[in-house]
Amino acid sequence: MKPNKYTVLLIPDNESESKSFTFRRRWFGLIITMTIAIITLIGVAGYFFVPRALDYQRMKSGYNELVTERSKVMNLYHDLRRLQQMDGLLRKNLGADLKLSDYEENLGGLVYNDVKSDDVKYSTDRIGNIPTKAPIDGYVTQRMVVRSHAWKNNHYGIDISVREGDPVAASAAGVVIFSGWSTDLGNMVILYHGNDYFTFYGHNQVNLVEKRDIVKRSDVISLAGNTGISSGPHLHFEVWEGSNPLDPLEFFPEYKDKDLSAE
User: Where along the chain do its domains lie?
Assistant: 1-97, 100-258
Sorted by sequence, the CB contacts under 8 Å of residue 189 that are 6+ apart come out as: 168, 176, 178, 179, 200, 201, 204, 207, 209, 221, 222
Output the CA–CA distances (angstroms, integers) from residue 258 to 103, 127, 177, 261, in the order listed.
35, 26, 30, 9
Name the strand (E) or helix (H) holding 78: helix 25-94
Is domain 100-258 given the CATH code 2.70.70.10 in the classification?
yes
Sorted by sequence, the CB contacts under 8 Å of residue 129 that are 6+ apart come out as: 109, 110, 172, 173, 174, 193, 194, 195, 197
The span from the CA of 203 to the CA of 149, in Å, is 27
Give the SS3 label for residue 255: helix
The span from the CA of 215 to the CA of 176, in Å, is 8
Q: What are the phi and psi torsion angles at 151 (to 5°)?
A: -65, -35
The span from the CA of 230 to the CA of 205, in Å, is 12
Quote the strand ranges of 15-151, DSSP E. 19-24, 111-113, 121-123, 139-142
Q: Residue type at 44?
A: V
| pLDDT string in tens for the chain (263-residue length) | 566 676 777 777 766 677 776 766 667 677 778 888 888 888 887 777 777 777 778 887 777 777 666 666 565 556 566 666 666 666 555 554 445 555 555 334 454 444 443 443 444 455 557 888 999 999 999 999 877 654 457 888 999 999 999 999 999 998 998 999 988 899 999 999 888 889 999 999 999 999 889 999 999 999 999 999 998 999 999 999 887 889 999 999 999 888 887 65
* Pairing state between β 214-215 and 197-207: unpaired
pTM (predicted TM-score) = 0.59
